[in-house]
Structures are given as C-alpha cells and as structure tokens.
Amino acid sequence: MSVSALRVGRLREMLALEANVSVLVTDLNDVRYLTGFTGSNGWLLITESTVRLITDGRYTGQARAQTEVDVVEARTITEMITEVVADLDRSHSTRLMFQSSQLTVDLFDRLKSVSDRLDPIGSRLADLRRAKDPAELAAIERAVRYADRALADVCPSIDDSMTEKDVRDELEYRMRKHGADGPSYDTIVASGPVNSALPHHRPSSRRLEEGDLIVIDVGALVDGYHSDLTRTFALGRCSETLRDRYEIVREAQRRGVNAVRAGVPAREVDAVCREVFRSHDLEDDFVHGTGHGVGLVIHEEPFLGSTSTAILSTGDVVTVEPGLYRVGLGGVRIEDLLVVDENGSRVLSTFPKDLICLPSRPTI
Amino acid sequence: MSVSALRVGRLREMLALEANVSVLVTDLNDVRYLTGFTGSNGWLLITESTVRLITDGRYTGQARAQTEVDVVEARTITEMITEVVADLDRSHSTRLMFQSSQLTVDLFDRLKSVSDRLDPIGSRLADLRRAKDPAELAAIERAVRYADRALADVCPSIDDSMTEKDVRDELEYRMRKHGADGPSYDTIVASGPVNSALPHHRPSSRRLEEGDLIVIDVGALVDGYHSDLTRTFALGRCSETLRDRYEIVREAQRRGVNAVRAGVPAREVDAVCREVFRSHDLEDDFVHGTGHGVGLVIHEEPFLGSTSTAILSTGDVVTVEPGLYRVGLGGVRIEDLLVVDENGSRVLSTFPKDLICLPSRPTI
C-alpha cells in the first residue's frame, strides 16, 4: 500500500468515516501529507471510497505526476466549490467535515451555502501528522545535518568585518550547497546588546562587534520537512554577566532535553526549564515557550508551553529551546531538535553546546 | 503625520469609523502595512481614537521599536481574546469589524463568544494597500533591480554542467549580495520538455541539456516588498516549434503590457493576451491568469484574470506574464512588473525580452 493510501486510510479510521460523509482538507500541509502534492493551491475531498484533489491549471500536471489520487481542474474558488458540490452529490454525502482551524470565514460561508451539515474535523490531521514515520524522520535528519554543517562551515569565518546579513547569506548558501532545498524559515542572526535580546530578530546590516553575543537560529528544508537549530556565540571576550547567563540557559536546556520522553506532559518540559530560570530570579527574561513540534510545518503540535495539554509520544519531533533576553544586555538561546523514541529521546543535532568564543581580530 | 497614522486614518475614513465600533486586523500583512510591525504574531485593534497591537513576548520589544502604537502582551490566544474584550469595554464598542477573508472559523467562534455584533470588513484593507506610495514603490524598484542584476550575473555562467537547483542557488545568493533581504518567493528554474511545462515547477536536480528551454521566475524581497520577473532562455539551439512559441508569448506579453493603464478593466489585459494565443489556436496551453498585483504580498489585488472585476488605477503594481505550456514539448513564460502611472504604465524591469540562446559547450 502506498504511503498516501496508508495515511488516508488512517484518517478514515480516526474519523470512523462512514458512507454519506465527506472530508474537505484545505490546509496545504495536510494535503501534502495525505497525497504528496506540493502546489500552492489545492483542496482534497475524501469520502469513504474516493480521494479527489481539486486544483487550478498551474498545478494539474504537477498534481498528476506527484499523486495517485484523482485530479480535478478548477480555475476559481467558485469552480472549486462547484467541484465540491459535484463530489458531495456523487457520494450522496449529507455531512461535510472541514478544517475550522484553517478555513476562513469567507470560505466557510461559501460552503454553508452548498452543504446543510458542516462539522469541524478538530485537530485530527495535526494529530495524524505528529508521529513521524522512518521516511519523514530521514528527511528531518538530513535537514538537521545540512544546518549543522552549514553552521560548522561558516562559524570559523565569523568576525567583526561581517554584518548579521552577511552571516545569514553564507549560512543559507552553504545549506543549499550541502543539499537543502532552502532555509526552513527566515534565518535569525541577532547580535549585540539589543538585537540578540529580540527572540525573532531579523538579520540587519549591523556589523558584529567585540563582546557581542550572537544568536544564530537556522534550519534547513528537505522534501518539505524542516529542521530547527539555535546556538549562541560570543565574539571575542564577552562580559561575565553574559557568560553566567549562557551557563544558566545551558543548564535549563540540558534539563529540558533530559525531560523529553514518551508519556511526559509537554508542559512539564517547559516547567523544568522555567524552574532553572526561577531559581536565578530570571523567569521574566524567558519570554516564550520552551519548544514545539517540527515536521512539514516549522511550528506544529505538540507545543511545549505552560498551557500545553499534549502528552509526548513516540515519533514526536520537538525542539527544546529555552532562552534569556534583556534589551540593553543581550540574549541567549540554545535549541536542539529531538525525536521521542523507545529509549526516551534522541538529540538530532550534533553541533556543540558549550559557549564558543569566536576569535576577534587583534587591534593593531 | 507618520505613515502609520496616515494609513490608519485612511482606513478609518474608508470605513467611516464611528464611536462604539472597533476594527480587528488579523492579517499580518495588513498589520505591517498599518504599523510597520514585522513579527509573525499580532492583532491590531483600531477604534475611532486608539490603535493597539496585541502580540506575545517574543515580539513585544520588537513591536515597541518598530511601531508607535500601544503594544500589549498576550501569551496565548485566550489572552489575546481577553485583551480584545478589554479594548471593546474601554471603547464602549458594540460592533467589531473583522477580516472574514483571513480569520479562521475557530477564531471567529471565539470572537462570537465575546462580541454580539461581528461584521466583515470586506476587501477594504486590500483596496487600501493597492495604490503604492513613493516609499513603497522605491522598495519594489530596488527589489526589481536586485533580481534583474542577479539574473544578469548568473546568465553567462548557465550551461549544461548545472542543474536547475544550481541555477536557483546562484540567483538567490546574488540577489542577497546585491542587497535583497531574500527571495520574494520560491525561485523557479524549470528546464526541458517536461519541467518547463509546469508553470510552478520546483527546481530539481535535473541537469540542463542542449535544446532546453529554461523558464526562470525570480524575485527579490526588500523591506517586505516583492518583485516578480520571468524570462525564458534557450540552451544552445532549440527547435523551431519552441522558437515560434517563444515569439507568440513575446507578442502576447507586448500587447498585454501595452494594455495596462488606469481605467482599464483588469480582465481586458488578460483578454488581450488570450486573444493572441487564440489566433494561433493555442489558448488551451495558457493555463493561468495573465497577472496579479504585487506589494507586501506576492499575489495581491488586482488580479488580471478572465473573471477579475478590478479596474486598474494609478499606483497599482502588477505583473503581465502570459505563457504557453505543453508537457513533452516545453514551456515559455515572459513576465514583467509594471506600475500604473499618470502616463499609462511603466515597466520596472530592464532585463531584455528577446530569446537569449545561452551558448552550449562545444562537444569535443
């Protein structure tokens, strides 16, 4: 049985899909997961016995090459809705399940006009995508490797002649040369007392300076799968305060990583990291959650935050990425990607985690 | 008056915003347009007299640096909703306008539980974003220039030792080196009888071959603004059929470009191109619309397709990109970015449009 048929089968099972019920999948990541289709426009209609992909003329050829499901062409939203109606008629469906977490109010209103009974599918597709199979894990591991290698390539050349953007450009180019399809997300290179304290800073033309902490958050994309890695470096000598903060984050991250295993509530991993910061009276400087799932989507279930209700399970691929940020002082973040397995969990990235002080150029 | 205050003012005017009415902007491109905020999570709440940005701890520092509006921190969707309620209470709003084209059904249901009257804002924000001001146009022109230059840099080195991915990597690296923040979208390098016939092909490891047509669709990103350029090249000698098709697309594109001016219905530009293909009995090989608006979003209003109801107006920045595709034979697309101005329109890209036959390496 093909991967696609297997996954559609598992979805049908999860939903206990009966005759006269259709499922409309509108989230493109889910469409890709279920069919292999990678276009930027497509709806998937699943009934008890049929699977149909509706897309426009830019993608019909590609869809037929990438998938084994029926491909139907529709040029506009109106034509897509018409195809949905035709499918509901053919399958005598009286109930249409849809993705309320993704479908817009406008499209919902259009669907309401063609179906009497619309039921949200809930988080079933996100749940289905959680446990990575060996092929998915292999893609993620390649993505991890390309980011690790790119960082190792670029690291020795980082000095105060470079701007944040320069570092980003080299990292992304090197990931590609190693085999990545591209960056997994906008690479973050955040340096110095202000920028490094912004967790999602965009690389600027700021030139690196002696004494900077430099937060580099970089991932690669391989066959649609993401990786996610953060390391913090010092350029030359940085202050003792910053070095202390680095060690505190290092300790929080170590404990977080150790807490990841099947059966553990996701929020517990977050609590473990947060507790380390609390013991140093620094909890207010940890301004985000501890981690998230990674797969076809860079931020997906399970989320590792204080309000998470997820329980970690085998096959989950998650980040552990505590950090401390204070504008004027600087920021530190250390992040690994882990897979939950039968033995607990395994860290996928191999890049070292001790503070690396990059040599600054001697002043003449 | 700041750009942000000006734009919020224009929105209030367009909506004839009264006391007791609030507007919730959830589309991040619109949030950016109205405030300058570039984070990946944020809602903007606008009343007759206040503007408030709700975001999480990763972005509060950044939001305060980038915008002049009130910034409120909320860690979760629930907290974001709580902040919306607080704002509605403070402003005594009895009506909340929202973006039905962007808001998901799930979030709509959450809002329904806190506001008695929810009204869709319609396409007002897309309309507001259409006419580009001089600063926006300057960013777009820079983005156009960087893509033009990158293509000019890379073009002479393209030969049959390169794969599609290699060409893509070099283009994206060169755009960055010229000053782009990154590619505007996934660069397309589509070669040969199959790949070039897929309008949105993703660069593969296919090595270029003598006789190939190579469709290169590449844009740069500058301060959030996109550019969009397509040229089709021949590697060595290509068949007469392909050269004929190139000239037909060239003619369709020329006529389409000439049709772009204020007051013209967008669908007329599409009709003009389609007519050229029809006169050669090739209309079935033109499988997409003729163009689209470009700005903070790569595909935005106005769309230039057969069902478009938009009328072009001064300040619109649009693509004209007819193409012909037949799997087994190959594809051709030629695309320029134009700005509609007082004199009709102006093509922004300078890259030549005659068929460039890249020299193939002599066989020894």
Domains of chain B: 3-128 (3.40.350.10), 131-358 (3.90.230.10)
pLDDT tens-digit profile of B59-98? 998 899 999 999 999 988 999 999 999 999 999 999 999 9
- Chain B hits for A165, CB-CB cut-off 8 Å, are 176, 181
Q: Which of B62, B105, B321 to mutate to test the interface with A (most CBs of A within 10 A)?
A: B105
pLDDT at B361: 64
CA distance, residue A283 to nearest chain B CA (Å): 12
- Chain B hits for A204, CB-CB cut-off 8 Å, are none
pLDDT at B360: 72
- Identify which of B38, B98, B108 has the shortest CB distance to residue A202: B38
Whether A199 and B106 lie within 8 Å, measured CB to CB = no
- Show pLDDT as tens, one digit a residue, over chain A (364 residues): 799 999 999 999 999 888 899 999 999 999 999 999 999 999 999 999 999 999 998 899 889 999 999 999 998 899 999 999 999 999 999 999 999 999 999 999 999 998 889 999 998 999 999 999 999 999 999 999 999 999 999 999 999 999 999 999 999 999 999 999 999 999 999 999 999 999 989 899 999 999 999 999 999 999 999 999 999 999 998 899 999 999 999 999 999 999 999 999 999 999 999 999 999 999 999 999 999 999 999 999 999 999 999 999 999 999 999 999 999 999 999 999 999 999 999 999 999 999 988 887 655 5
CA distance, residue B108 to nearest chain A CA (Å): 7
Whether B106 and A106 lie within 8 Å, measured CB to CB = no
Whether B100 and A109 lie within 8 Å, measured CB to CB = yes
SS3 A189: strand
pLDDT at A234: 96
pLDDT tens-digit profile of A27-61? 999 999 999 999 999 999 999 999 999 999 889 98
> Running DSSP on this structure, what letter comes out for residue A213?
E
ipTM entry: 0.86
Whether B109 and A103 lie within 8 Å, measured CB to CB = no
Whether B100 and A120 lie within 8 Å, measured CB to CB = no
Whether A104 and B106 lie within 8 Å, measured CB to CB = no
- Identify which of A104, A202, A327 has the shortest CB distance to residue B102: A104
CA distance, residue B343 to nearest chain A CA (Å): 33
- Chain A hits for B75, CB-CB cut-off 8 Å, are 307
B213, B192 in Cβ contact below 8 A?
Answer: yes
Rounded Cα distance, B75 and B77, in Å: 7
Q: Residue B281 — very low, low, confident or very high, per pLDDT cuts 50/70/90?
A: very high
- Identify which of A106, A165, A327 has the shortest CB distance to residue B101: A106
A222–B contact, CB cutoff 8 A: no
Chain B residues 24-43 with a CB less than 8 Å from chain A: 38-40
Residue type at B2 in one-letter notation: S
Question: Is residue B330 predicted with pLDDT exceeding 60?
Answer: yes
Distance of CA A209 to the CA centre of its chain: 31
- Chain A hits for B120, CB-CB cut-off 8 Å, are 105-106
Whether A100 and B120 lie within 8 Å, measured CB to CB = no
B117 contact partners, CB below 8 Å, separation of at least 6: B94, B95, B96
B104–A contact, CB cutoff 8 A: yes
pTM (2 d.p.)? 0.89
Rounded Cα distance, B246 and B49, in Å: 56
- Identify which of A65, A105, A198 has the shortest CB distance to residue B61: A198
SS3 A280: coil
Please state the φ and ψ torsions of residue B49, each to the nearest 5 degrees.
Answer: -130, -5
Q: Which residue of A has its CA nearest to B41?
A: A200
B288–A contact, CB cutoff 8 A: yes
Where residue B92 falls (left for φ over 0; alpha for ψ -120 to 50; beta otherwise) is left
CA distance, residue A55 to nearest chain B CA (Å): 12
- Chain A hits for B170, CB-CB cut-off 8 Å, are none
Whether B198 and A100 lie within 8 Å, measured CB to CB = no
- Chain A hits for B180, CB-CB cut-off 8 Å, are none
Chain A residues 43-82 with a CB less than 8 Å from chain B: 56-62, 65, 75-76, 78
pLDDT at A363: 52
pLDDT tens-digit profile of B135-173? 999 999 999 999 999 999 999 999 999 999 999 999 999
Please state the φ and ψ torsions of residue B303, each to the nearest 5 degrees.
Answer: -90, 135
Q: Residue B200 — very low, low, confident or very high, per pLDDT cuts 50/70/90?
A: confident
- Identify which of B78, B176, B307 has the shortest CB distance to residue A76: B307
- Chain A hits for B323, CB-CB cut-off 8 Å, are none
The closest alpha carbon to A154, from A178, A135, A138, A132, belongs to A178
Whether B181 and A198 lie within 8 Å, measured CB to CB = no
- What is the mean predicted confidence (pLDDT) over B338-360? 93
- Chain B hits for A146, CB-CB cut-off 8 Å, are none
Rounded Cα distance, B254 and B272, in Å: 10
Q: Residue B271 — very low, low, confident or very high, per pLDDT cuts 50/70/90?
A: very high
Question: Is residue B43 predicted with pLDDT exceeding 70?
Answer: yes
pLDDT at A192: 97
